[in-house]
Amino acid sequence: MKEFAYLRPTRIHDALTAAAGRDDVRYLAGGTNLVDLMKDEVYRPAVLVDVRHLPLDGVRDAPDGGLVIGATTTNSDVAAHPHVRLRYPALSQAILAGASGQLRNMATVAGNLLQRTRCGYFADPSQPCNKRAPGSGCPAIAGEHHNHAILDWSEHCAATHASDMAVALAAFDAVVHYETLDGPGIVTLADLYLPPGTTPDRETTLPAGALITAVALPGAAASRRSRYRKVRERASYAFATVSAAASLDVRDGRVHDVRIALGGVAARPWRARHAEAVLAQQAATTEHFRAAARAELEAARPLRGNAYKVALAENLITAVLDDLAASHDGSAAPYDTQEGSR
């Protein structure tokens, strides 16, 4: 690991000033991704600016009935927060489905959003990788890619975004707030991530040096009936192969409001807007859920070794919506707990 300076500012302005105009300065939050990638020499910063002593911790209610989650709030605190569990159960479930208790205690909201892909070539500087070393090539497309993208990838990179939390945030139309020395800005979660295209090294639309300060969840009654399900290669403590977050509001047997997002299928959390449009005002039946899932996945272009994800995503969307619809029957409402994949 290369030597670096460590700064611990307590004012946002000082953090922004330290990072301004330099590409060798990185914000340090929980460090669970940053320190890991520094050990691998993927990152070689000259300065780390610790953001955890900035006044950015905590969850508060927003006037519109939503929530504002401070950027340095730990994943554990978000998942355990009573208002998150009550109003955005899929967010709590998504976080709890990821990593381990230790890592969730360290990981922050902002760090989770900006974590890098788990593509094995990316973390190994002895290998080519367009995301890490632009122009060096993408060995994954001809090589090991069983957990890579099926949607919106390019010949330059087929990596997925690894976050569970971001999938739930995408379904809930979350908005990311940030600060720069030129003033504050906002970007919706849908617009935060860039498709790989010809520049997979560029992952977000944030301006250089931007400090994420908070993530806002708009108030929405439908979010209370929401659920996250994750399929992975072991029962716990593994990244998603495919995951789905959804909320569903059924009135008189018809879909009144539905939101669906997928994880593990693209370089960003994949909001399934096509499926949502197909379902609008349809009868809330398994057949319609499956047809909507199929419509969404028509755009899928699997690689040689990951076609299984297309069927998996279809089944997962259908199953999650089925669960949510069943919770409308007045029977036990299972929509606010994670069904373990035990």
Partner 1 sequence: MSDRTRSAITLHANGDARALTVDNRRTLLDALRDDLGLTGAKKGCDHGQCGACTVLVNGRRVVSCLTLAAAADGSEVTTVEGLAGADRLSPLQEAFVRLDGLQCGFCTPGQLCSATAVLAEHAAGWPSAATRPDRPYAPGRPTPALDAAEIRERMSGNLCRCGAYPQIVRAVLEAARDTAAEHAHTPETGAADLEESHA
Ligand X SMILES: Cc1cc2nc3c(=O)[nH]c(=O)nc-3n(C[C@H](O)[C@H](O)[C@H](O)COP(=O)(O)OP(=O)(O)OC[C@H]3O[C@@H](n4cnc5c(N)ncnc54)[C@H](O)[C@@H]3O)c2cc1C
Q: Which two tokens stand for residue 94?
A: 């998504």
114 touches, from ligand X, ligand SF4, partner 1, none (C-beta below 5 to 8 Å by class): ligand X
Q: Is 106 in the site for ligand X (CB under 6 A)?
A: yes
- Torsional class of 40: left (φ above 0), alpha (ψ -120 to 50), beta (otherwise): alpha
x/- letters, 154..193, toward ligand SF4 (CB under 6 A): ---xxx----------------------------------
Could you tell which of ligand X, ligand SF4, partner 1, none binds residue 174, using a CB distance below 5 to 8 A set by kind?
A: none
Cα separation, 169 vs 172, whole angstroms: 5
Cβ 218 to ligand SF4 shortest distance, Å: 32
Window contacting ligand X (CB under 6 A); options: 130-138, 159-167, 280-288, 309-317 = 159-167
Q: What is the rounded distance in angstroms from the CA atom of residue 68 to the CA atom of residue 43?
A: 30
- Least distance from ligand X to the Cβ atom of residue 239, Å: 5
Angle at 259 between CA 338 and CA 63, to 5 degrees: 90
* SS (HEC) of 19-71: HCCCCCEEEECCCCCHHHHHHCCCCCCCEEEECCCCCCCCEEECCCCCEEEEC
> Which option in partner 1, ligand SF4, ligand X, none does residue 270 bind, with CB closer than 5 to 8 A by kind?
none
Assess 90 for contact with ligand X (CB under 6 A).
no
Q: Is 276 or 323 the residue whose CB approaches partner 1 more closely? A: 323
Strand partners, 185: 178
Query: Do residues 189 and 176 touch, judged by C-beta distance below 8 A?
Result: yes
One-character DSSP codes across 283-326 = B--HHHHHHHHHHHHTT----TT-THHHHHHHHHHHHHHHHHHH
Smallest gap from residue 284 Cβ to partner 1 (A)? 19
Query: Any contact of residue 99 with ligand X (CB under 6 A)?
Result: yes
Strands (E), the chain: 5-7, 25-28, 47-50, 59-61, 67-70, 175-180, 183-188, 211-217, 226-231, 242-251, 254-263, 270-271
The binder of 340, among partner 1, ligand X, ligand SF4, none, by C-beta within 5 to 8 A per type, is partner 1
- Residue 211's binding partner, choosing from ligand SF4, ligand X, partner 1, none, with beta-carbon cut-off 5 to 8 A by kind? ligand X
Interface positions with partner 1 (CB under 8 A): 1, 3-6, 8, 28, 30-32, 35-36, 39, 48, 50, 52, 57-60, 73, 76-77, 79-82, 85-86, 89, 92-93, 96-97, 99-103, 105-106, 235-237, 332-340, 342
Residue that has been written with the tokens 């809930």 in this structure: 172
Interface with ligand SF4 includes 119 (CB under 6 A)?
yes
The footprint of ligand SF4 (CB under 6 A) covers 117, 119, 121-122, 129-131, 138-140, 148, 157-159, 200
